[in-house]
Structure 1
Amino acid sequence: MALRRPLQWQTVKSSRSFIGPGASTIKYWPSNHVRDLSSQPRRYSGPSKPSNTPSSPPPDWEDNPNYNISKFADLPHSNFGVNQHIIINDEFKEALRQILWQFRAPIRYAFAYGSGVFPQSKPSVTPSSATSVHPNAPLAVEKAQGGNPKVIDFIFGVSYTQHWHSLNLHQHRDHYSALGSLGSGAVTAVQEKWGAGVYFNPYVKVNGTLIKYGVVNLDTLCTDLSEWTTLYLAGRLHKPVKILRDDPRVRLANQVNLLAALRTALLLLPPSFTEQELYGTIANISYMGDPRMVLPTEDPSKVANIVGNNLPNFRRLYAPLIDNLPNVQFNDSKCSDPEWAADESANVRLVQDMDPIKRGNMVRRLPKAFRSKVYFQYQKKFQIPQLEFNKMLEAASDEDATRINRREGGGFERRIASEPPEDLRAEIRGVIKRTIGWPSTSQSIKSFFTAGIGKSWRYMGEKIANYQKGKRNAAEEAKAAAQKPKEQKDE
């Protein structure tokens, strides 16, 4: 397939800071075009400074990713994956980085996430009130969040789990529950054999800031990102996070993860949809099957709040990927405005090609572990004999590292893609729930041992309070919406 000329990126001024001041200049994808379905895909060269010789990924990078890389120079191209780096307030970013420096145990990859970093409601202070904050001060975190401090959530990716906990127990024994008294071997065993392979230490104070941090082995992290074995960590990275320490292998795996989230969302969506519907579908993937969403322990409006208050960040993550896929594109006159990408109020429309061949290709490119579950689900539904099914799986195998096997859907994938949309959505949702359900449930149970009873009950209490607050807000909004037509009628 012939490649088009690489995109030229434009610089626009943001009308807001992403978290407080400091994010004044942001690179966005070109937005003054609306592609039709027959056009060739444009190639993403990343939201970085344009150069005379822009880089673009080789067309087969996704078919044969090398997860053994150790240098950023080994990535498919020089700007690969920079869409993952969300811009936040500089002082806030520095305050988060200073927290990492308080750990002597080596952290290879780290990101901060959640409502403590990306607010799920509008800030209550003006930007001018958050400008003179020393980066080392805990107040930097508080003011950057709009004067409403919350627990800051982190994930630390480490190379040698037991060695890491050994060093961290020596430095920060108070971060661990009674389980820490059994030593790093016991901590590591609980981490790796229960749940999703993450060990959380919640409600610890570092640099005067209350944080929760989860420790995960880099191999476990990369496997979940590239194969969707549990979707526990992959789901967190579907949403905007602030990467504080990067790693080339994780960046490669996460780009595969983001593409998988986009394709999965497209299989769940109709031919035409809005940005908020797309990003809401993506953000909701990680909450399907999560026991917290079934029990009264999570705000029922959580996904809507995440997307509604972070649209420009979702655009930075996914718009370059949308521009690369041949079967989906923005299709809205608002995109003719060169600064629409920085507009928080914009909710542009997109369209996708429902051709079974192209959708079959999307099924074929789903992450390995997740795709296998989808295949077995449809083997039962289509009543395919086991011998015939095994031959199909063998023909579709892409685990041969010695050759490039272009992953294109065959008859089986096209048959799946040709299912009535409501049936396909139900089956995909069912596989997502089964993928997430047990790892998330067992991870929650594990927290009573890793965090301790007291901290676990505190966490549960806060989640229940969020649920009740969300219900109250929803009731107030419904009441206001019901009164509005009456007031208009009276006028």
Structure 2
Amino acid sequence: MILAVSDPLAWHKQNIMQHSSDYSFLKFLGPSAINYVSNLGAGIYFNPFVDVNINGTPLELKYGVTSVDTLIDDLANWSTMYLAGRLHKPVAIVQNSPQLLFLNQYNLANAVKLSALLLNKQSIKESELYLSIAGLSYMGDPRLKVQGENPDKVKNIVENQFSLFKNLYKPILDNYFPNLIQSIHGDSDSGDRVYHVNLSEEQIAHIIIELPRKFRSRLFNILKERYGNELAKDLLVQEMIAEPTLKVLTSKPIGSESTVSYNDLLGFTQTSSASLLSEIPKHDWEYLPTEYKVEISPFIRKLASDLKQHPEILRSTLSQTVEDTVGSSALVQSVKGILTAGVVRSWKYAAAKRRKYLQAQTKRQN
């Protein structure tokens, strides 16, 4: 269970007063220390092995606390893909908001597009796509590398929740990408449908330019040496690398910077001249039409052309970007667990994960 709250510091202060047994020794350092630790890594604080009683039924659960701003940032930018990755899978949302609902649709749509690039096949089964999507947040996870997690976890998640994945992604697959993904055959309500995927050079360029901004910046940083000549002439991509985070929420006025309306942006894009970027505030460049951004970007066009001709570069570079995004924050979260759970509960948690790994290995051998 994950709670996204507006003020984690105030929340922890109140929760320590009411449920101090949920916390490790960090509670003796005060809520400020807990909030500091929470902000490390993926920006979430977990309390594991908490005993609760719901309607007379005793339960043991693990709950995490994060800020609404951290959740929004990860959905919009894929800064760590820690929270966004959890929402790639079917979850029960107790309370939603229009903004979070909209951003999660963006998150889910990008998970589909990224998985289509990673699979890089003209036709894919629905189950293949869901396995790729569910596996994104485990790529680079140190727990898998040290045999501290069930190696069949992703497979089990998809097989046990296939109908829920279908409910989550079918509206997106049927309506969001008519030029990219089309259903070939299969029962629309049950079974494993097959989709045709149009990974033309144009579609590859469109997918890459539309990926969440922090993730996209990491991808461009990996490739900037290979395409240095194109990058030197590309103000748009230079700005994307220099400012890797899209600020979704801001309480600060833009101030003296000029502003343009959406109609103004469309008017500017009637010509393909990249020099017109100087007439548009940099904070509005992200909202230019995709076709225009591709047209004025030599870096993106060259990148898409090469990736179409050399799919192995596409797959390895995207995989490295996902691993870089997931790995560092997942490692910090694992180390944080010793502090947030305490030594005894951390050992109990690690032992439980190790048992699941050994059980999966035994099942494979049989």
Give me the TM-score of the superposition, normalised by structure 1: 0.61
SS of aligned partner of 1:202 = strand
Tell me the secondary structure at the aligned position of residue 225 of structure 2: helix
* Pair 1:309–1:399, CA change in 2 (3 A): farther
Q: For residues 88-127 of structure 1, what are the structure 2 equivalents within 5 Å?
A: none
Which residue identity does 2:43 align to in structure 1?
Answer: G
The Cα offsets for residues 125-145 of structure 1, whole Å up to 9 and x where unpaired, read as xxxxxxxxxxxxxxxxxxxxx
Q: 1:440 to 1:399 in 2, by over 3 A?
A: farther
1-structure distance, mates of 2:285, 2:77: 19
Q: 1:415 is matched by which residue type in structure 2?
A: K
What is the one-letter code of the residue matched to 1:474?
R
Q: Structure 1 pair 402/442, CA: closer, same or farther in 2 (3 Å)?
A: closer
* 1:175 corresponds to: 22
1:284 aligned onto 2:135: yes
Question: For the residues of structure 2 that align with 1:158 and 1:399, how far apart are their CA atoms?
Answer: 31
**CA–CA distance in structure 2, aligned partners of residues 307 and 213 of structure 1:** 23
- The amino acid that maps onto 1:434 is D
Q: Does 1:366 align with 2:256?
A: no
**What 5-or-longer segments of structure 2 have no aligned partner?**
240-273
Distance apart, 1:381 and its partner CA: 2.2
* Counterpart contact for 2:236–2:285, Cα < 8 Å: no
TM-score, normalised relative to structure 2: 0.81
CA displacement 1:164-213 (0-9 Å, x = unmatched): 00110110000000101111111101111x21100000000111211100
> Is structure 2 residue 168 aligned with structure 1 residue 317?
yes
Indicate the residue corresponding to 1:413 in structure 2: 300
- 1:429 offset after TM fit, Å? 0.2
- Select 1:213's aligned residue among 42, 59, 63: 63
- Of 220, 223, 229, 1:375 maps to 220
Q: Deviations over 1:460-483 (max 9, x none)?
A: 00110010111111112xxxxxxx
* Structure (1/2) with the larger helix percentage: 2
Deviation at 1:311, TM superposition (A): 1.2
The percent of aligned pairs where both chains have the same amino acid is 36
Once residues 45 and 8 of structure 2 are traced to their aligned partners in structure 1, the CA distance between those partners, rounded to angstroms, is 10
Q: 2:365 aligns with which of 460, 475, 480?
A: 475
Are 2:208 and 1:357 equivalent residues in the alignment? no
Name 2:271's counterpart in structure 1. Answer: none
CA separation of 1:399 and 1:451: change in aligned 2, threshold 3 A: farther
CA RMSD, Structure 1 to Structure 2 (Å): 2.0
Query: How do 1:30-429 residues align onto structure 2 when only pairs under 5 Å count?
Result: 154-192=1-39, 194-207=40-53, 208-269=58-119, 270-323=121-174, 324-326=176-178, 327-332=180-185, 334-335=186-187, 340-341=188-189, 343=190, 346-384=191-229, 387-390=232-235, 392-394=237-239, 400-401=283-284, 404-408=287-291, 409-410=294-295, 411-418=298-305, 419=307, 420-429=310-319
User: Could you list the per-position Cα deviations for residues 307-350 of structure 1 after superposition, in whole angstroms to 9, with x for gaps in the alignment?
Assistant: 11211111111111112212102111x33xxxx42x3xx22211
Distance 1:415 1:350 in 2: 28
Shift of 1:391: 5.3
- Any conservation in 1 of the 2:231–2:238 contact (CA below 8 Å)? no
TM-superposition CA deviations, 1:373-398 (whole Å, max 9, x none): 11122212223376435454346999
- Alignment check: 8 A CA contact 2:227 2:299 kept: no
Does structure 1 conserve the Cα–Cα contact (< 8 Å) formed by 2:231 and 2:237? no
Larger RCO of the pair (alpha carbons < 8 Å, separation 6+): 2
The CA deviation at 1:249 is 2.2
Figure out how many residues of one structure are paired with residues of the other and give that number: 314
Structure 1 residue runs of 5 or longer lacking an equivalent are 1-153, 477-491
Q: Distance in 2 between matches of 1:271 and 1:459?
A: 42
